[in-house]
Amino acid sequence: MNRKLFGGAFCLVFIGVFLIPSVTRAYVFTQDLDFGDSGAEVSTLQQTLDTLGFFSYPTITGYFGSVTQTAVQAFQTAKNIVTAGTPATTGFGRVGPSTRAALNTVDTNNAPWAPPEEVTSTVFTRDLTFGMSGEDVRNLQQFLNAQGFLVAENGAGSKGNETTLFYGATQNALARFQAAHGVLPSVGFFGPLTRTKVLEIQNAASGDTTEASRETNNDSSTEKELDEALDIIFGLRASSYGSRILLSWGNVSGATSYTVRRSEDGGSFVLLESVTSPAYTDTTPIEGRRYTYAVTALNEKGDKVSKRTEIVVPVTRASVGSPSYDADATALFARMSTAPNSTRKSTINTLVTSLKTEGIWDKLDTLYIIAAHDAQAARLNWMGNDSYNLTTSGSPVFVADRGYYIPGTPSYLNWNWAPTNGVNYTQNDATFGIWTRRDIITTSSAAGSGNSGSQSLIVARSTSDVLRYRINQNTTSNAGTVSDGFGLISISRTAANTTQAYKNGAASGSAGAISSTALSSDPMNFGRVAGSYTQNQFQAGFTGASLSSTEQTALYNALNTYMTTVGVAPIVTVAASSATYATSSVAVFPDGASNATSGKGWTSTGLAYDSTDGTWWVGNHGKQLPASPTYASSVVHLSADFTTIISEITISSLGETPASVQGVAYDTSDNTLWVVNKDPGVGSEVYHISKAGSLLGTFSVPEGTNAIAYDSTRDQLIISNDSTNTITWRSKGDLSAASLSLSAPADQLGYDEDTDMILATVGSGSDGLVRFYDVATADYSGEPRIAETATLTGADAIEGVVLLNDVLYVTNDAYYHSGSPTLNRMLVYPH
């Protein structure tokens, strides 16, 4: 490559073809070299790496920066010294003893390095970008290759094989050229700034002293010497705020932009952004990392007008954590047994500071944010008095970031706070509110406190579609008509005979005039008031002094920001449907499977559809009748029309002990099979099998495992346990991702990607059922809602199930279970 330097007002010009003196193994490296080092040993290192083909910068600088570090990593990888990690952890990108020893043994005289070609002059007259073509594209590729920014190592685009097409390889090579020469943005667009830079190089190579080249003549032969002629950026400093690092610096005369680069734990620098003002905020630092930020000032031509100036910022818990948060938020974090991550801390801090800014915080006695990352955190009273933390009674179900689900009698959440405990909450100056996700139409109270003397309660949506409430009173007030019961419901009492209900920050109905009676001494509860229970899922609750309409709106906005951030959304109630379906066709399974009785088909357990060719994979239980002495279980590959066995993979052919095959899943991500082999009294295994019959892997599952399906939406396996009525999502490496309870038993499973529903079959001796479980609703109660129950006539021994193009395909092993008729068949039902 040409050894020339352009930047600022300095340039050393070499004309024509020249050679860098080779570095032989007569030179012995004696020093450890790392990022930031400089001097003669670094220069020799760069020359050596350049001769070997690893160093890509257009000049020897004598400074160990990110380009040199990348070259060292490439050399270490080529020599198999180290191939991953960081300079600090593994030495990757650092010249230590092992790398020094390798450098001292290479023979650079025989390295495949060729001197750069002479630069030929081509006049470029138009902008060039991705997708364009023409001879000027070929000329650009020739120029880039001559400069050492290879479009390709070989083939199209390589030296001597340049093309007229501007695609990704040309764009990448051009971007590298731009980055090396300080042309911003370095994105591979060939525009006026890049044409000017190319012209400078061409003029310098040809000896032309036109205006473009005269501006860059004289003085310095290395980047280090150029930098020494420039000033540093004064006043570069860093400070933390929350999970952010704020950089600021003094203005540089003549600068029109500043590039900000970042290195993490001594790794390579990456460009964060080019900014026009002397400040930048990094929003992505991680606790425990060490960052080096490098800022360079550029003029309108893209030339440097400052030294590259660096600052090191070790990001400790102190710099990113609690000191940057509000004191009350910090105290709250300390009370959480499972610490929230930095993102959640920021979300919590935002809520706290918002409530303080609006003057609400100091008016509260209790505040529960139940849509938390952890159950213990969900039960905390944010106002600091642990005596008023929530406690559970019965069997409430906590779902992370969604809150506590109260299933009804006898379950509830006890606030351990009664209106008589109020400080800000008083008889004639009080606010009480809750946030729920579910639209429950009921006469029962969602939350409140009550005894014979006085009650405070909320009925979010009554059977007459009215919001009803009491606050320190014995008679119910009717607020406005509502169309749903979810979101924020808040009640304020501002005087002895003045109340107002609010829904999502807006007044609901007219002001109430029922007089207050007294303060209840009964604790507030979610899901229970005065012995009456109700079902719902709760995300927040609070009590305190009365809030004005403006404050109610501000409270809603602050809580809504939090809820939206953590993913809380209303659940719209949809009644489950039920229908009965009749077969459109049936087919007896063909003869030929292991342990099958002629004319009866095999005992079919599990069904999967092969989307590559429309065929089927069907489980073979391995016994034709319950009294059969031994298993000969397998997976049968069946033709699309159910008439022909294409192949059979027996469990014994996998080198495994045959037991009962219970469930088959087809993995569309890699076109493989997952099969449950259930051995009653011993245990169960899941086998990962290729379609050719090779065992790819195996893992153990609980003995009750009875079915498997592939969740293509999440790229996970769904496994059911018929002894516990639970389903579990697992990664393909046997890592449990989530578990849910089912409201009814399940035999076999299927999954429908279009609706994100799990299909579960059940039934023997009568018409079988397929229950459709809506996965999206599982974050409400921990149990997915049944969206539909389909009754399939004639499926009296229902097993595997697939929903395909609104048609249900089920296997029915009525020969094994003595159904009618006594045949093992495929049954097809339009859905």
Looking at per-residue confidence, does 734 or 525 come out higher? Answer: 525
- pLDDT value of residue 687: 94
Looking at per-residue confidence, does 110 or 522 come out higher? Answer: 522
Looking at per-residue confidence, does 13 or 66 come out higher? Answer: 66
Task: With a cut of 60, say whether residue 95 has pLDDT above it.
Answer: yes
Write down the H helix ranges in 358-441: 375-378
Distance in angstroms (rounded) separating the CA atoms of residues 382 and 392: 17
User: 316 and 336: one domain?
Assistant: no
User: 285 and 391: one domain?
Assistant: no
pLDDT tier at 59, thresholds 50, 70, 90: low
Domain boundary among 110, 134, 163: 110
Mean pLDDT for the stretch of residues 414-436: 97
Instruction: Note whether residue 819 is domain-resident.
Output: yes
- Contact residues for 372 (Cβ-Cβ < 8 A; gap 6+): 378, 400, 401, 403
User: 346 and 467: one domain?
Assistant: yes
Task: With a cut of 90, say whether residue 476 has pLDDT above it.
Answer: yes
Instruction: Note whether residue 571 is domain-resident.
Output: no
Poorest-pLDDT segment among 286-290, 400-404, 415-419: 286-290
> Sign (positive/negative) of CA torsion 323, 327, 328, 331?
positive
Looking at per-residue confidence, does 510 or 111 come out higher? Answer: 510
> Sign (positive/negative) of CA torsion 700, 704, 708, 714?
negative
User: 542 and 634: one domain?
Assistant: no
User: 279 and 399: one domain?
Assistant: no
Q: What CATH number is given to the structural domain containing 286?
A: 2.60.40.10
pLDDT tier at 7, thresholds 50, 70, 90: very low
Distance in angstroms (rounded) separating the CA atoms of residues 677 and 796: 24
Strands 397-399 and 455-459, bridge-based pairing: unpaired
- Contact 458/434 with Cβ under 8 angstroms? yes
Instruction: Note whether residue 199 is domain-resident.
Output: no
- pLDDT value of residue 73: 85
The two tokens of residue 320 are 């990113």
Q: What CATH number is given to the structural domain containing 89?
A: 1.10.101.10
φ/ψ of residue 152, rounded to 5 = -155, 150
- Contact 632/826 with Cβ under 8 angstroms? no
Q: What CATH number is given to the structural domain containing 452?
A: 2.60.120.200
Task: With a cut of 80, say whether residue 603 has pLDDT above it.
Answer: yes
Mean pLDDT for the stretch of residues 185-206: 76
User: 238 and 334: one domain?
Assistant: no
Instruction: Note whether residue 496 is domain-resident.
Output: yes
Separation in Å, CA 538 to CA 381, 527, 739, 742, 805: 15, 9, 21, 21, 38
- Contact residues for 464 (Cβ-Cβ < 8 A; gap 6+): none
User: 242 and 313: one domain?
Assistant: yes
- Contact 333/343 with Cβ under 8 angstroms? no
User: 526 and 597: one domain?
Assistant: no
Distance in angstroms (rounded) separating the CA atoms of residues 449 and 2: 83
Mean pLDDT score across all residues of the chain:
83
Distance in angstroms (rounded) separating the CA atoms of residues 663 and 238: 58
Domain boundary among 83, 110, 137: 110
pLDDT tier at 453, thresholds 50, 70, 90: confident
Peptide bond into 590 cis (omega under 30): no
pLDDT in tens, 620-644: 999 999 999 899 999 999 999 999 9
CA atoms within 13 A on the CB side of 541: 27
pLDDT tier at 315, thresholds 50, 70, 90: low
- pLDDT value of residue 508: 96
Residue with tokens 């099969």: 675
The two tokens of residue 812 are 């029915």
Amino acid at 284: T
- pLDDT value of residue 11: 28
The two tokens of residue 633 are 């279980």
Task: With a cut of 70, say whether residue 391 has pLDDT above it.
Answer: yes
Task: With a cut of 70, say whether residue 186 has pLDDT above it.
Answer: no
Domain boundary among 65, 91, 110: 110
Q: What is the DSSP letter of 167?
A: -
pLDDT in tens, 682-705: 778 999 999 999 998 888 888 788
Poorest-pLDDT segment among 99-103, 153-157, 278-282, 588-592: 153-157
Distance in angstroms (rounded) separating the CA atoms of residues 490 and 478: 13
Instruction: Note whether residue 718 is domain-resident.
Output: yes
Instruction: Note whether residue 25 is domain-resident.
Output: yes
Distance in angstroms (rounded) separating the CA atoms of residues 48 and 236: 35
Looking at per-residue confidence, does 734 or 825 come out higher? Answer: 825
Distance in angstroms (rounded) separating the CA atoms of residues 519 and 637: 72
Looking at per-residue confidence, does 379 or 59 come out higher? Answer: 379
SS3 per-residue string spanning 263-276: EECCCCCEEEEEEC
User: 558 and 583: one domain?
Assistant: no
Looking at the DSSP bridge assignments, the partners of residue 366 are: 543
Task: With a cut of 80, say whether residue 777 has pLDDT above it.
Answer: no
User: 659 and 698: one domain?
Assistant: yes
Peptide bond into 112 cis (omega under 30): no
Looking at per-residue confidence, does 316 or 718 come out higher? Answer: 718
User: 364 and 274: one domain?
Assistant: no
- pLDDT value of residue 27: 66
Peptide bond into 821 cis (omega under 30): yes
pLDDT in tens, 232-255: 676 677 765 545 677 777 777 778
Q: Indicate the angle between helix axes 66-78 and 40-51, nearest 10 degrees.
A: 50
pLDDT in tens, 40-50: 788 788 878 87
Poorest-pLDDT segment among 220-229, 663-672, 740-749: 220-229
Instruction: Note whether residue 515 is domain-resident.
Output: yes
Task: With a cut of 80, say whether residue 12 has pLDDT above it.
Answer: no
Mean pLDDT for the stretch of residues 588-613: 95
Task: With a cut of 80, say whether residue 411 has pLDDT above it.
Answer: yes
pLDDT in tens, 323-377: 468 889 999 999 999 999 888 998 999 999 999 999 999 999 999 999 999 999 9
The residue count for the chain: 831
Write down the H helix ranges in 307-341: 317-320, 327-335
Looking at per-residue confidence, does 450 or 618 come out higher? Answer: 618
As a whole-number percent, the residues of the chain with pLDDT over 70 amount to 85
- The number of folded domains in the chain is 4
Q: Which contacts of 609-614 are long-range, i.e. CB under 8 A and separated by 24 or more positions?
A: 609/666, 609/802, 609/804, 609/809, 610/637, 610/666, 610/671, 610/691, 611/666, 611/668, 612/671, 613/640, 614/640
| Domain of residue 438, residue span | 327-566
End-to-end CA distance of the chain: 69
Instruction: Note whether residue 117 is domain-resident.
Output: no
Looking at per-residue confidence, does 563 or 307 come out higher? Answer: 563
Task: With a cut of 90, say whether residue 435 has pLDDT above it.
Answer: yes
Task: With a cut of 60, say whether residue 586 has pLDDT above it.
Answer: yes
User: 527 and 585: one domain?
Assistant: no
- pLDDT value of residue 124: 84
Separation in Å, CA 575 to CA 761, 774, 785, 786, 808: 20, 12, 10, 9, 22
Distance in angstroms (rounded) separating the CA atoms of residues 52 and 211: 37
pLDDT tier at 725, thresholds 50, 70, 90: confident
Q: What's the pTM value of the predicted model, to 2 decimals?
A: 0.50
